[in-house]
Amino acid sequence: MSTPPTQADIDREIAELRELRVTGDGGERHHPSRDYAPYRSTALRHPGQPLIALKDPDAAELTGPVFGVTDVTALDADLTRQHLGEPLGERITVHGRVLDRNGRPVRGQLVEIWQANASGRYPHQRDDHPAPLDPNFTGVGRCLTDGDGGYAFTTIKPGAYPWRNHVNAWRPAHIHFSVFGTAFAQRLVTQMYFPNDPLFPYDPILNSVTDDRARQRLVAAYEHDLSVPEWSLGYRWDIVLDGPAATWTEESR
């Protein structure tokens, strides 16, 4: 068994891959490379063959699943009210809009979130981080976007937590998001981060997005007007769904 990588090893790899990016063709790469080596679990789980472009105007993937009022309940969007008591932690709200690449709102579609509790622990059997579980917090939310593409969740700020990618690896606080567009080809699963987290430079998952501008789009903004007096701190995070090319026009790029 080889020596597990240190943070310094990972830092060096992150820097090298970012350097390659900058000296490349100069265009912005929006999504991570699936073979991003600093995140070790990618090694055996990325395709070695190039993806095959599919340009069929009748493709099923240009349509997608639909959701409706029966698929969510009003309580789903408030993660602080799903148990008998109040969860521990800093109460926050996260507001935003889901848009397509033309800036059009994605209406009536499903947004799902999940997150660690305030101590950085998931209620998952395989999470053995010795931080307390919170009996009043599960960390799962759902809602449908409104007529403006808007979504809103009330929750608590998740904690950072350790993982075993390398020695002393810590994930910055984040909320997982799963978002549907009108086309299956617009599907997005991603993570929202909190502004000014000191762990940003050390995290290979966030840094798998090698373009600075693209990476910044994963970070929510603290917005004071969204904070509620004597109650909660407000964050805003808009989501723009990629593809498919057939639904957006060249000039709006």
Partner 1 sequence: MNPTPSQTVGPFYGYALPFPGGGDIATGGIIVHGHVYDGAGAPVPDALLEFWQAAPSGDLTGAPGTLRRDAVNGAVLGRNGVDFTGFGRVPTDADGRWTLRTLVPGNGYISVCVFARGLLHHLYTRIYLAHDAFLDSMPSERAHTLLATPEREGVHRFDVHLQGEKETIFFDLG
Residues 159-188 binding partner 1 (CB under 8 A) are 176, 178, 184-185, 187-188
Contact call for residue 2 and partner 1 (CB under 8 A): no
Contact call for residue 81 and partner 1 (CB under 8 A): no
Round to whole Å and give the CA distance between 137 and 130.
17
As measured in angstroms, the least distance from the Cβ of 91 to partner 1 is 20
- Return all residues near 11 (Cβ < 8 A) that are at least 6 apart: 201, 202
What are the DSSP calls for 110-140, one per residue?
Answer: EEEEEE--TTS--S-TT---SS---TT---E
* Residue (of 236, 52, 66) closest to 151 by Cα position: 236
Contact call for residue 20 and partner 1 (CB under 8 A): no
From the list 174, 193, 202, 235, the catalytic residue is 174
Return the SS3 of 67: coil
Contact call for residue 52 and partner 1 (CB under 8 A): yes
User: What does DSSP assign to residue 95?
Assistant: E
Catalytic (active site) residue 174: yes
Contact call for residue 12 and partner 1 (CB under 8 A): no
Nearer to partner 1, 221 or 245 (CB): 245
Catalytic (active site) residue 176: yes
Contact call for residue 75 and partner 1 (CB under 8 A): yes
Contact call for residue 102 and partner 1 (CB under 8 A): yes
Nearer to partner 1, 48 or 229 (CB): 48
Contact call for residue 37 and partner 1 (CB under 8 A): no
Round to whole Å and give the CA distance between 73 and 236.
23
| Token output for 6 | 């240190």
Catalytic (active site) residue 193: no
Q: Name residue 150's beta-bridge partners.
A: 97
Nearer to partner 1, 1 or 189 (CB): 189
Catalytic (active site) residue 166: no
What sign has the CA pseudo-torsion 104, 105, 110, 113? positive
User: Which residue in 12, 15, 20, 41 binds partner 1 (CB under 8 A)?
Assistant: 41
User: Which residue in 14, 106, 169, 205 binds partner 1 (CB under 8 A)?
Assistant: 205
Catalytic (active site) residue 161: yes
Q: Restricting to residues 234-253, which ones interact with partner 1 according to CB under 8 A?
A: 239-245, 252
Q: Which residue has the tokens 């000014």?
A: 196
Contact 150, 182 (CB under 8 A): no
Contact call for residue 27 and partner 1 (CB under 8 A): no
Contact call for residue 28 and partner 1 (CB under 8 A): yes
| Token output for 189 | 């699963």
